[in-house]
Structure 1
């Protein structure tokens, strides 16, 4: 039987230490790209196959993390994952991704899958239907590093990376007021999710700051979808005193609003303003283009990985669990609100 090639065989071939060869094959950041290439070519030439299972048993690490997202249909989560995988790869980690399709049961299954795969840590954004956090408490009991991003439960003490939705919503609503819109509606997401409640509260705060009375009649609870945006806009337009602008909780809802306004032959932005939240990939390509808040999604993913990586390397502590990183959103003003023309 042909003898299996080992790290020591590659090391002897290249006159390097086995430790250097191992780190090069693991894409360790301290090893130069030139050395990595030399080692990889030698490994291929010698027909070397690393034994990840044996390696993980020896070290107690798999160099794999799990990322659990509520949906893959929203480009927001794809962009966050890009930020996570980019840094993970640079630090020698592979990424397992599980989508739960906004279902609590699949979210629980995803966590169980990650635990079974012995991942070194888990990054999560909650399903919109999640009200029970026992599966995350189980992750904590097992001392597996856990980080949340975007949709975050306040009920458990876990490090997180979030956007300042309150301030973003305030700025969006203030912009609509500055553009001369008088009666600004809000189509929210599920407000039991903190992300969407923060945006709702920011909207209310901007109205108060401008001495505009809140009118519950023009606040519509949606479910973060194009259909929800269309239904909400249709409902608002049928009111005896309809609004002349909508601040939507996210861009798919805003897209639905634009579609319904177009079918109702209402001109945007001349007669009606629409402001979204996310800066999804399609938002600059709608007609008219959509004003929105950029959530800096790649940065969010990178910061989430940094928090997780620190816990993997240095252990879980009360200090680590208390970290809550807040990223400021950036307003992107486009045609859907710019009555006076686009800013140059």
Structure 2
């Protein structure tokens, strides 16, 4: 059996014995169309299961009222929360979003940008994939006059507005916290340094060691994709060292949780023998035993600010958009995995 033909405004017009142009104006809430006609058109559209052609509407009106969002993955609480923040602002302004995942795959990210442009989205909000070193695909929206705003994983190679956490400050303060808890041989889990967030977190870690006159040791820096299994492998590697670390600061909560699993399997006490800290404040960090010390990135706030910045671009009209950079202040969430010494109640984790 063949599929049913797509319902168009001409079908609605025929049902109501009015012109297609009247139906179009009614669907777009044109003030020249009476409320009685608008209600009749909306009722008929629902009965016929009419689905508007957003691409055709975008070609006619120049606006699709759709934003494309590109994230590495949606199964991370951080990205899910950012998307929620973006949607909260977008929905209030009658905009919808298309959510796409790059899976940190360069080719997939390029294809996604092209697909969103073909779908006539009004703009793109993106977090750059770990493996995207060539960013030419992100120049295409700008060349077409379509707003592009980056969040979290950003770059200074593109003249676009950006919203990010102060990754350097978060990593510095976390490393400082571990030092103040008495740890001296602190390892760091990082990622291939193609993404600015991990570069900044490594820099914060190294500067804190320097400021407290603790020698930086290359063997204590483990590079990986920072997944759970990477944290496990990294911890196993560190335990083979002649002098093992007394703390691990991971640039990802997932890496820290992998390390925690290995330490428990080896009956190594946390935090007495080895302290642990992560970055991201993923929901599971408060349920581990001990609960994981981490850095809160304020993802929901980041999403809202990113959307607000995005819609600010529309107000410029034909004027050249002046890129803005918004840097959020991170906050340490101190929990049992790093506490060797008592802390004042007001400084402990919520």
| TM-score normalised by structure 2 residue count | 0.85
Q: Which moved more, 1:118-127 or 1:185-194?
A: 185-194
1:313 aligned to which of 315, 323, 327: 315
From the superposition, tell whether residues 202 and 21 of structure 1 become closer, same or farther in structure 2 (CA, over 3 Å): farther
Question: Aligned-pair distance for 1:208?
Answer: 1.1
In structure 1, runs of 5+ residues without a counterpart are 12-16, 23-39
Partner of 1:76 in structure 2?
78
Partner of 1:32 in structure 2?
none
Report the Cα distance in structure 2 between the residues aligned to 1:109 and 1:300, rounded to whole angstroms: 26
From the superposition, tell whether residues 315 and 189 of structure 1 become closer, same or farther in structure 2 (CA, over 3 Å): farther
Partner of 2:149 in structure 1?
147
Partner of 1:37 in structure 2?
none
Matches within 5 A, 1:295-334: 295-315=297-317, 320-321=322-323, 323-334=324-335
Partner of 2:341 in structure 1?
340
Report the Cα distance in structure 1 between the residues aligned to 2:93 and 2:157, rounded to whole angstroms: 31
SS in 1 for 2:338: coil
RMSD: 2.7
Question: Aligned-pair distance for 1:270?
Answer: 1.3
Tell me if structure 1 keeps the 8 A contact 2:27–2:42. Answer: no
SS in 1 for 2:289: coil
Would you say 1:205 and 2:207 are equivalent positions? yes
SS in 2 for 1:114: helix
From the superposition, tell whether residues 140 and 265 of structure 1 become closer, same or farther in structure 2 (CA, over 3 Å): same
SS in 2 for 1:2: helix
Q: What is the CA deviation profile of residues 187-224 of structure 1, one whole-angstrom value per residue up to 9, with x for unaligned ones?
A: 11222211100000000111111111111111111212
Question: Aligned-pair distance for 1:151?
Answer: 0.7
Partner of 2:7 in structure 1?
none
Question: Aligned-pair distance for 1:55?
Answer: 4.3
Matches within 5 A, 1:193-272: 193-272=195-274
In structure 2, runs of 5+ residues without a counterpart are 1-13, 346-350
SS in 1 for 2:332: strand
* Number of matched pairs: 324
Matches within 5 A, 1:1-344: 1-3=14-16, 6=23, 18-19=30-31, 45=43, 47=45, 51=52, 53=54, 55-315=57-317, 320-321=322-323, 323-341=324-342, 343-344=344-345
From the superposition, tell whether residues 182 and 205 of structure 1 become closer, same or farther in structure 2 (CA, over 3 Å): same
| TM-score normalised by structure 1 residue count | 0.87
Question: Aligned-pair distance for 1:272?
Answer: 1.0
Q: What is the CA deviation profile of residues 228-257 of structure 1, one whole-angstrom value per residue up to 9, with x for unaligned ones?
A: 111111111111111100110110111111
Report the Cα distance in structure 2 between the residues aligned to 1:158 and 1:217, rounded to whole angstroms: 37
Tell me if structure 1 keeps the 8 A contact 2:132–2:194. Answer: no
Q: Which moved more, 1:94-103 or 1:72-81?
A: 72-81
Report the Cα distance in structure 2 between the residues aligned to 1:21 and 1:121, rounded to whole angstroms: 30
Report the Cα distance in structure 1 between the residues aligned to 2:308 and 2:108, rounded to whole angstroms: 26
From the superposition, tell whether residues 9 and 218 of structure 1 become closer, same or farther in structure 2 (CA, over 3 Å): closer
Question: Aligned-pair distance for 1:138?
Answer: 1.4
